[in-house]
């Protein structure tokens, strides 16, 4: 510095200014040249992994540098980018940067004439992981508040891929359905054959051989038949997910469109960061037997037993008081009494399965040897005797009334009580006191018929 000051002191003011400008220009040009090199980005330790993945990418092989993508074309954008880079360098030096930088690559940098033109992409039909894909209909579209850009699908996520496409990006848009105020909303629903060709080979799945062409001839809807468990997943975004980035959790006042817009317009937030992993295809497939939802037909099969054991309100509404058994009050569970597993019948293909039967010996665990045989025979004997008497009286009234339309309401309620006791099947064992109270009420209902 003293040397430069000495030289400037010996020169007139004009020459000093010219020399100073030249020096500043030389230093600035050198700085711009150095910072424009991709290797300079690697001087910041938080960029090391990104730089390493870039060296393994197709862009590196084609000599596409960092600034070619991360700064938009144009002199003004270049100057703005260098100023922004300078501020980032200052932040790095003073320790004001996080461990995971974020960057948005605008479409204009990807779609320039020297890189990927829109016309070339629209006409470039390709196979992606065995799926038919075209850029036409994706880039530039806005669906459910999501502005589809190059970065929507292409992202830095894992491994040595610097700018790759993860299948979850596709699945999140095409297979998630919303709930609540946005129930049934699907960003972009597609059919199976929009992406997949009908397999031309017979698929061997163990003892099952599947010929898709045979199904296609009958115009079978893939998503409504064999693959109905693989084409729609309920969107569940836990509010705690928001806390990974935000101070507060998700507000209920925001709609799906508003949230999508705020997280995709100018920001680089991956869909699966909020929605998690969406499985589809082989990874999301389930066995054919698991596709059978038995509960569509077999539902609430033990409701009667539960209601009588817990003395729940009877459907007729005639039982108001809780009559709880000692077993219920001492937290006796179903499996405490149903301890004997039945055997599968020989010669069958597990068609009957197994059930756990209740046996008198289960009572002996708590009440001593022989107590089960004594209590059960007593309860069931009294209940069946009382049931037969009430049932005999009720049958006479029902025969006298004839058609069900003219049957008094009290008779209908009494019949509902008797049917419940019979359907329970334990004949008082589940709740002897409550069963007795129900039968007494049925008898009183019959007495009240005029």
What would the pLDDT profile of 93-110 be if each residue is shown by its tens digit? 777 776 677 778 888 888
Residue 376 has pLDDT above 90, yes or no: yes
Inter-helix orientation angle 409-424/432-447, to 10°: 160
Element (H, E) at 386: helix 371-401
Greater model confidence, 426 or 100: 426
Q: What is the C-alpha separation between 231 and 371, in angstroms, rounded?
A: 56
Greater model confidence, 14 or 203: 203
Question: Does domain 2-110 sit in CATH 1.10.3820.10?
Answer: yes
pLDDT for 436: 92
pLDDT, one tens digit per residue, over 319-336 is 556 678 888 888 888 989
Residue 172 has pLDDT above 80, yes or no: no
pLDDT for 321: 61
Tell me the average pLDDT across 239-248.
Answer: 82
- The answer to whether the CB of 168 falls within 8 A of the CB of 274 is no
Residue 406 has pLDDT above 90, yes or no: no
Residue 341 has pLDDT above 70, yes or no: yes
SS3 143: strand
pLDDT for 289: 54
Name the region of 176 (left: φ>0; alpha: ψ -120 to 50; beta: rest).
beta
pLDDT for 6: 58
pLDDT, one tens digit per residue, over 249-295 is 766 677 777 888 888 776 778 787 888 777 776 655 555 555 566 77
Q: What is the C-alpha separation between 383 and 421, in angstroms, rounded?
A: 9
Residue 405 has pLDDT above 70, yes or no: no
Least confident among 56-70, 286-300, 377-391: 286-300
pLDDT for 39: 82
pLDDT for 28: 67
Tokens describing residue 229: 């468990």
Output 106-115 pairs: Cβ under 8 A, ≥24 positions apart.
106/72, 106/149, 107/139, 107/140, 107/149, 107/150, 108/72, 108/73, 109/68, 109/69, 109/70, 109/71, 109/72, 109/73, 110/69, 110/150, 111/139, 111/150, 112/73, 115/64
- The answer to whether the CB of 107 falls within 8 A of the CB of 139 is yes
- The answer to whether the CB of 144 falls within 8 A of the CB of 187 is yes
Greater model confidence, 140 or 313: 140
Residue 44 has pLDDT above 90, yes or no: no
Q: What is the C-alpha separation between 204 and 188, in angstroms, rounded?
A: 32
Q: What is the C-alpha separation between 339 and 357, in angstroms, rounded?
A: 6
DSSP 348: S
In this prediction, residue 31 has a pLDDT band, given cuts at 50, 70 and 90, of low
Determine the CATH number of domain 303-447: 1.20.140
% the chain with pLDDT above 90: 13
SS3 134: coil
% the chain with pLDDT above 70: 78
SS3 176: strand
pLDDT for 429: 93
> Could you state, in order of their start, the residue ranges of all structural domains in the chain?
2-110, 125-292, 303-447
| Beta carbons within 10 angstroms of residue 421's beta carbon | 26
The verdict on pTM exceeding 0.85 is no
Residue 180 has pLDDT above 90, yes or no: no
pLDDT for 148: 84
pLDDT for 166: 76
To the nearest whole number, what is the mean pLDDT of the chain? 78
The maximal CA–CA distance of the chain, rounded, in angstroms, is: 133
In this prediction, residue 218 has a pLDDT band, given cuts at 50, 70 and 90, of confident
SS3 336: helix
Q: What is the C-alpha separation between 450 and 435, in angstroms, rounded?
A: 26
pLDDT for 285: 58
């Amino acid at each position: 510095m003293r040397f430069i000051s000495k030289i400037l002191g010996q020169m007139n003011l004009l020459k000093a200014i010219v020399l100073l400008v030249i020096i500043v220009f030389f230093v600035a040009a050198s700085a711009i040249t150095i910072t424009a090199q991709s290797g300079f980005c690697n001087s910041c330790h938080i960029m090391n992994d990104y730089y390493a993945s870039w060296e393994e990418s197709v862009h590196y092989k084609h000599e596409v540098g960092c600034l070619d993508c991360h700064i938009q074309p144009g002199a003004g954008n270049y100057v703005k980018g260098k100023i922004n880079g300078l501020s980032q360098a200052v932040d790095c030096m003073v320790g004001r940067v996080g461990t995971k930088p974020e960057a948005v690559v605008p479409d204009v940098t990807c779609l320039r004439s020297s890189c990927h033109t829109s016309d070339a992409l629209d006409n470039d039909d390709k196979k992606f992981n065995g799926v038919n894909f075209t850029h036409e209909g994706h880039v530039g579209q806005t669906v459910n508040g999501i502005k589809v850009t190059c970065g929507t699908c292409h992202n830095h996520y894992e491994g040595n891929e610097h700018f790759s496409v993860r299948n979850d990006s596709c699945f999140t848009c095409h297979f998630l359905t919303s709930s609540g105020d946005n129930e049934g909303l699907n960003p972009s629903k597609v059919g199976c054959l929009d992406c997949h060709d009908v397999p031309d080979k017979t698929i061997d799945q163990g003892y099952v051989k599947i010929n898709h062409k045979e199904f296609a001839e009958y115009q079978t809807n893939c998503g409504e038949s064999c693959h109905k468990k693989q084409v729609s997943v309920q969107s569940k975004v836990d509010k705690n997910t928001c806390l990974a980035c935000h101070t507060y959790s998700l507000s209920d006042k925001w709609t799906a469109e508003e949230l999508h817009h705020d997280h995709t317009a100018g920001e680089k937030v991956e869909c699966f960061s909020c929605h998690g992993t969406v499985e589809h295809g082989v990874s999301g497939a389930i066995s054919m037997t698991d596709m059978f939802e038995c509960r569509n037909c077999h539902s609430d099969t033990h409701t009667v037993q539960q209601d009588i054991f817990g003395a729940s309100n009877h459907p007729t509404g005639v039982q108001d008081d809780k009559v709880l058994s000692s077993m219920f009050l001492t937290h006796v569970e179903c499996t405490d009494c149903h301890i004997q597993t039945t055997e599968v019948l020989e010669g069958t293909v597990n068609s009957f399965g197994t059930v756990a039967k209740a046996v008198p010996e289960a009572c002996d665990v708590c009440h001593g040897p022989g107590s089960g045989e004594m209590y059960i025979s007593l309860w069931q004997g009294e209940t069946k005797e009382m049931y037969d008497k009430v049932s005999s009286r009720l049958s006479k009234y029902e025969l006298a009334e004839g058609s069900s339309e003219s049957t008094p309401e009290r008779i209908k309620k009494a019949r509902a009580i008797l049917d419940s006791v019979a359907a329970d099947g334990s004949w008082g064992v589940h709740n002897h006191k409550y069963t007795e109270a129900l039968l007494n009420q049925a008898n009183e209902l019959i007495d009240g018929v005029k």
